[in-house]
């Protein structure tokens, strides 16, 4: 009897452990003895009390401190990992640990009460350009490229606004920092280059697709920006690139910092999280002395992790936590929507483009005709809504030029690439121009995103995706439209930011669901307080007012015209604004 009880307990132990393990990780263990995986802990930092309208540096420090407190809960897990002599890395950006170990260790960790899940550190592929053409830049016209003119960046430059005082960041395939188009835009450039706080290499070995017998051209743990694939250099050029006779970047006076998250185009969630963590609080080259004051204002992310490469709803949440935490720290996270548009509606299916708090970007193409200089959606640009996580979320947020985009590539060269990877950097550069026009907007992520969305040139689409007709704005093809950075800067200059919130007081967290909605809206407040809800349309006109006297209230919005609204909660002491989409 005791023997059967023993067998039952043992089988229960492994059943519980296995239930906490990502199935794709178990599949990898069937092929390999040791696999890279991420241990996600249940206890995560609550950042909901961090005010949104305080200076960016203070906001970043509060987020960093809150995350750092949670790292202490990793101690016993780390002791087990160390006793197994397994390679590992502790994360702060999200309470999690990367481990390279065997199935026995994975099951042992999964069975710990403080562990939420053990997930596969799945391969992540860079969004390869759809088309590539190489050019001698001297043979191109000296005027700005078509995408820069289309979003009217050149009109912003005439006002003397070119991105000065703003830092953009890229995590990609590395960067040829000595390319003349971007060298003096690198924050570490100078008579004696300083790579501390400006560069981080998250590629420590060839664990993904390349065996060690095929050497990486950069090597590993490189102490200076290096590129093992031209993709990263091209994206940075579109953000800040400038030569003596050619402007290729949206914000040519902004500075850039970088992180390599891919080994020749292949990374993993762990390498991406490592780069995001570096951007939250950049460190010296030894990974020490983090400083939130050196964090960038915006991060460009031109990558995706499709299900075929291991990303699935079982492990979506960890990257979403990272994106949410960066937004709480006042950093805009720009993400390319993906190049699967030929699959039609709901082709935005990959992290991080699918998340609510990532600013996702579709791609447009230039349409040359005899009457106008116009653009339309590129056929490859992925469409919404997001169904892969069951949210039905409208995406992309906006679109930007992404076809035949000229930028720099390693070896002092230039090339024209097409893809949403080329559209995203236009938006990251636009963020730099907005902040350069009004530095009080630094760290005000919701406000910056609102500016870009409301000033975008409205674009209708042929498709009806997710029940949203293409002639409505926003739609699931262009989002709110193709960005117009000139209009965005004009609006940005009129906004005054109030920083009067007492940082010791808890900011209310207002939840609205479902969103999008067509009939009823449920509003949930974190605290049982009285207040008022004001509904505004995109023109700033109040269209509905409601009083709320309890934690939860259901509101009829069926009379509102399909479109986007902003809902303001206020009770005299606290206020919070959320975006509402009615379809």
Parse the chain into domains and list their residue ranges.
2-120, 125-492, 510-582
| Mean of pLDDT values over 47-72 | 87
Choose the weakest-confidence range: 110-124, 151-165, 497-511, 560-574: 497-511
pLDDT digits (tens, 9 = 90+) for 547-583: 998 888 999 999 998 887 878 887 766 767 778 888 8
Half-sphere exposure of 427 (CA within 13 A, CB side): 38
Model pLDDT, residue 55: 86
pLDDT beyond 80 at 141 = no
Residue 14 makes CB contacts below 8 A (sequence gap 6+) with 107
Q: What is the pTM of this model?
A: 0.85
pLDDT beyond 60 at 444 = yes
Strand partners, 532: 547, 570
| CATH number, domain 510-582 | 2.60.40.3080
Model pLDDT, residue 4: 42
Identify the CATH class of 125-492.
alpha beta
Strand partners, 386: 393
The answer to whether 72 touches 95, Cβ cutoff 8 Å, is: no
Please report, for residues 50, 97, 308, the alpha-carbon distance to residue 327 in angstroms, rounded to integers and kept in the order given: 11, 22, 28
- Other beta carbons within 10 angstroms of residue 489's beta carbon come to 24
Model pLDDT, residue 110: 96
Alpha-carbon span 518 to 558, nearest angstrom: 6
Model pLDDT, residue 316: 78
- How much of the chain exceeds pLDDT 70, in percent? 89
pLDDT beyond 60 at 501 = no
| Mean of pLDDT values over 51-80 | 90
Choose the weakest-confidence range: 175-184, 226-235, 318-327, 570-579: 570-579
Model pLDDT, residue 215: 84
Alpha-carbon span 313 to 350, nearest angstrom: 10
Model pLDDT, residue 542: 78
Please report, for residues 48, 333, 403, 405, the alpha-carbon distance to residue 568 in angstroms, rounded to integers and kept in the order given: 17, 24, 38, 39
| pLDDT confidence bin for 267, thresholds 50/70/90 | confident
Alpha-carbon span 481 to 456, nearest angstrom: 5
Model pLDDT, residue 125: 73
Model pLDDT, residue 518: 86
Half-sphere exposure of 384 (CA within 13 A, CB side): 36
pLDDT digits (tens, 9 = 90+) for 75-126: 999 999 999 999 999 999 999 999 999 999 999 999 999 999 999 998 777 7
Model pLDDT, residue 521: 95
Alpha-carbon span 295 to 292, nearest angstrom: 5
């Amino acid at each position: 009897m005791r023997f059967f009880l023993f067998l039952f307990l043992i089988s229960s132990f492994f059943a519980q452990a296995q239930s906490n393990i990502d199935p794709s990780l178990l599949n990898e263990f069937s092929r390999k003895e040791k696999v890279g995986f991420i241990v996600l802990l249940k206890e995560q930092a609550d950042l909901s009390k961090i005010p949104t309208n305080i200076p960016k540096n203070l906001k970043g420090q509060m987020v960093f401190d809150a995350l750092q407190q949670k790292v202490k809960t990793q101690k016993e897990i780390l002791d087990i990992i160390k006793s197994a002599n397994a390679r590992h890395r502790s994360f702060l950006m999200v309470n999690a640990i990367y481990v390279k170990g065997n199935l026995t260790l994975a099951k042992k960790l999964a069975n710990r009460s403080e562990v939420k899940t053990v997930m596969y550190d799945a391969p992540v592929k860079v969004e390869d350009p759809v088309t590539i053409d190489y050019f001698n830049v001297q043979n191109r016209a000296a005027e700005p490229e078509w995408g820069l003119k289309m979003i009217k960046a050149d009109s912003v430059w005439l006002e003397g606004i070119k991105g000065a005082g703003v830092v953009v960041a890229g995590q990609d395939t590395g960067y040829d920092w000595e390319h003349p188009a971007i060298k003096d835009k690198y924050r570490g450039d100078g008579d004696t280059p300083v790579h501390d706080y400006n560069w981080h290499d998250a590629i420590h070995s060839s664990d993904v697709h390349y065996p060690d017998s095929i050497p990486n051209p950069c090597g590993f743990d490189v102490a200076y920006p290096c590129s093992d694939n031209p993709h990263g250099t091209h994206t940075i050029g579109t953000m800040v690139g400038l030569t003596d006779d050619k402007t290729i970047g949206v914000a040519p006076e902004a500075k850039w910092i970088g992180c390599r998250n891919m080994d020749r185009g292949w990374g993993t969630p762990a390498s991406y999280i490592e780069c995001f963590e570096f951007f939250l609080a950049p460190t010296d080259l030894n990974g020490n002395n983090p400083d939130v004051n050196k964090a960038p204002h915006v991060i460009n992310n031109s990558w995706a992790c499709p299900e075929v490469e291991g990303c699935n709803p079982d492990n979506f949440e960890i990257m979403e936590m990272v994106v949410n935490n960066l937004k709480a720290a006042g950093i805009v996270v720009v993400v390319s929507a993906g190049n699967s548009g030929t699959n039609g509606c709901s082709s935005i299916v990959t992290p991080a483009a699918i998340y609510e708090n990532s600013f996702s970007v579709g791609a447009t193409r230039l349409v040359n005709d005899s009457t106008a200089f116009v653009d339309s959606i590129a056929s490859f640009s992925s469409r919404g809504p997001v169904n892969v996580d069951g949210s039905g979320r409208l995406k992309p947020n906006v679109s930007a030029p992404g076809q035949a985009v000229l930028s720099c590539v390693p070896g002092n060269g230039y090339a024209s690439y097409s893809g949403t990877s080329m559209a995203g950097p236009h938006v990251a550069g636009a963020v730099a121009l907005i902040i350069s026009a009004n530095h009080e907007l630094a760290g005000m992520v919701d406000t910056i995103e609102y500016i870009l969305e409301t000033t975008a040139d409205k674009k209708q689409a042929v498709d009806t995706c997710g029940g949203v007709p293409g002639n409505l704005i926003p739609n699931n093809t262009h989002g709110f439209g193709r960005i117009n950075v000139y209009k965005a800067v004009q609006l940005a200059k009129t906004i005054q930011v109030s920083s009067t919130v007492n940082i010791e007081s808890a900011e209310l967290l207002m939840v609205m669901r479902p969103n999008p909605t067509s009939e009823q809206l449920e509003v949930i407040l974190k605290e049982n307080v009285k207040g008022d809800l004001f509904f505004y349309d995109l023109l700033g006109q109040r269209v509905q007012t409601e009083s709320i006297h309890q934690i939860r209230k259901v509101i009829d919005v069926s009379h509102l015209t399909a479109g986007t609204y902003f809902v303001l909660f206020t009770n005299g002491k606290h206020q919070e604004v959320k975006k509402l989409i009615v379809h």
